């Protein structure tokens, strides 16, 4: 197995100590169970786990649902608290950690200002948004200013899964809750989220805006040809380019939690090697397994370096 010269992982999660005061007891217990109780560790123990796997830098983001599930006032307070806490962590370990901002998307202008504050004051590399905001997606015009600000700051926005809107959960998954989250529901919701951004014309209005999605593209690379044909036949979108062109120019995809060579080959064939970035999904997935996947992937040396660190360095300026 070939070892890259540097390894950056950029969908890696934490939570602030005050999370228990914001989330439900049921939600806290569920997150502790599936993360092996490691979300609160953003210090020496996490760095040791990174060292054991060979990871040089993690880009940290607050665990789902972040600020997206709250009312406006709570979301604004929570986002600022989370960002200030993470900012101090990044200052303490600048060579090992970088940050994605938590944003109170319930108030789009405040969210844009918070993005700018965290980039200016803490050097954050963008923002991560956990799913819909009380049933709303960022393709709607009130949120376009956030992408305008991100474009001006030259930072990406990571769209990460969260629990689906209640109506969708009830319709699709009421009898099959095991499918509602990582198994299927999160991927179709986040993939739809990204397609909505494209179809809305957002990337025509802000052609340099950059979005990241995880989990090897949230099913879109596998289904791209059929998506393109279906959209072309319907002809009822506001976009001026094709889905494939938006993927090439405005979207990056991470490997988070999908350590399969067949899925990687599909993503490579669809997006090209300049649009793929390494992620583990720590603390829900294993760092060692993620790096072993990277080292064993059937890639050229140049493409392995791009996946391991080169594309992240270019996109995030790290």
Average pLDDT on 84-95 reads 97
In our burial notation (b when 16+ CB lie closer than 10 A, e otherwise), range 239-276 reads: beeebeebbeebbbbbbbbbbeeebbebbbebbebebb
Q: Tell me: the pLDDT tens digits for 232-258?
A: 887 777 899 999 999 999 999 999 999
Within a domain: residue 1?
A: no
Determine the pLDDT at residue 316.
98
Within a domain: residue 3?
A: no
What's the CATH code of the domain at 312? 3.20.20.140
Within a domain: residue 302?
A: yes
Q: Tell me: the pLDDT tens digits for 267-302?
A: 999 999 999 999 999 999 999 999 999 999 999 999
Is 281 considered catalytic here? yes
Task: Name residues whose C-beta falls within 8 Å of residue 222's C-beta, 6 or more positions apart in sequence.
Answer: 263, 266
Within a domain: residue 2?
A: no
Give the CB-side neighbour count of residue 278, counting CA atoms within 13 A. 29
Give the CB-side neighbour count of residue 154, counting CA atoms within 13 A. 7
Give CA–CA dist 88/83, Å, rounded.
9
Q: Tell me: the pLDDT tens digits for 150-170?
A: 999 999 999 999 999 999 999
Q: Would you say 173 and 227 are in contact if contact means Cβ atoms under 8 Å apart?
A: no
- Give the pairing type, strands 211-213 and 157-160: parallel
Q: How many domains does the chain have?
A: 1
C-alpha angle 310/316/317, rounded to 5°?
Answer: 80
Domain holding 100, by residue range, is 8-316
Q: Tell me: the pLDDT tens digits for 13-63?
A: 999 999 999 999 999 999 999 999 999 999 999 999 999 999 999 999 999
Q: Tell me: the pLDDT tens digits for 66-77?
A: 999 899 999 999
pLDDT at 317 over 80: yes
User: Reading across the β-sheet that carries 8-14, which strands appear in turn?
Assistant: 8-14, 57-62, 97-99
Give the CB-side neighbour count of residue 172, counting CA atoms within 13 A. 16
Q: Tell me: the pLDDT tens digits for 111-120?
A: 999 999 999 9
Within a domain: residue 153?
A: yes
- Residue 180's pLDDT band (boundaries 50, 70, 90)? very high
Within a domain: residue 116?
A: yes
Helix, strand, coil share (%) of the chain residues, nearest 5: 55, 10, 35
**C-alpha dist (Å) from residue 117 to 101, 105, 125:** 10, 15, 12
The catalytically annotated residue of 163, 281, 282, 303 is: 281
- Residue 1's pLDDT band (boundaries 50, 70, 90)? low
Q: Which two tokens stand for residue 187?
A: 């991927």
């Amino acid at each position: 197995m070939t070892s890259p010269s540097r390894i950056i992982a950029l969908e890696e999660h934490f939570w602030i100590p005050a999370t228990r005061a914001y989330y439900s007891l049921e939600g806290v217990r569920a997150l502790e169970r599936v993360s092996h109780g490691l979300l609160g560790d953003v210090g020496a123990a996490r760095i040791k786990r990174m060292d054991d796997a060979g990871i040089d830098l993690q880009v940290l983001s607050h665990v789902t649902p972040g600020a997206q599930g709250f009312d406006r006032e709570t979301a604004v307070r929570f986002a600022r608290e989370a960002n200030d806490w993470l900012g101090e962590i990044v200052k303490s370990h600048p060579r090992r950690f970088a940050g994605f901002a938590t944003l109170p998307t319930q108030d789009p202008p405040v969210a844009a200002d918070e993005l700018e504050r965290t980039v200016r004051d803490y050097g954050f590399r963008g923002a991560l948004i956990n799913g819909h905001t009380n049933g709303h997606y960022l393709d709607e015009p009130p949120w376009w200013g956030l992408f305008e600000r991100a474009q001006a700051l030259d930072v990406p926005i990571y769209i990460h899964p969260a629990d689906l809107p209640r109506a969708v959960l009830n319709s699709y998954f009421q009898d099959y809750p095991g499918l509602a989250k990582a198994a299927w529901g999160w991927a179709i919701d986040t993939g739809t989220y990204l397609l909505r951004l494209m179809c809305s014309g957002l990337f025509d209005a802000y052609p340099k805006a950059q979005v990241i999605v995880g989990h090897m593209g949230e099913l879109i690379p596998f289904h791209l040809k059929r998506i393109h044909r279906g959209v072309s036949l319907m002809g009822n979108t506001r976009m001026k380019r094709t889905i494939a062109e938006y993927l090439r120019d405005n979207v990056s995809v991470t490997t988070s939690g999908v350590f399969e060579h067949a899925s990687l080959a599909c993503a490579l064939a669809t997006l090209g090697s300049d649009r793929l970035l390494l992620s583990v999904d720590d603390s829900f997935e294993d760092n060692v397994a993620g790096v072993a996947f990277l080292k064993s992937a059937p890639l050229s040396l140049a493409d392995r370096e791009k996946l391991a660190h080169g594309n992240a360095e270019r996109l995030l300026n790290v």
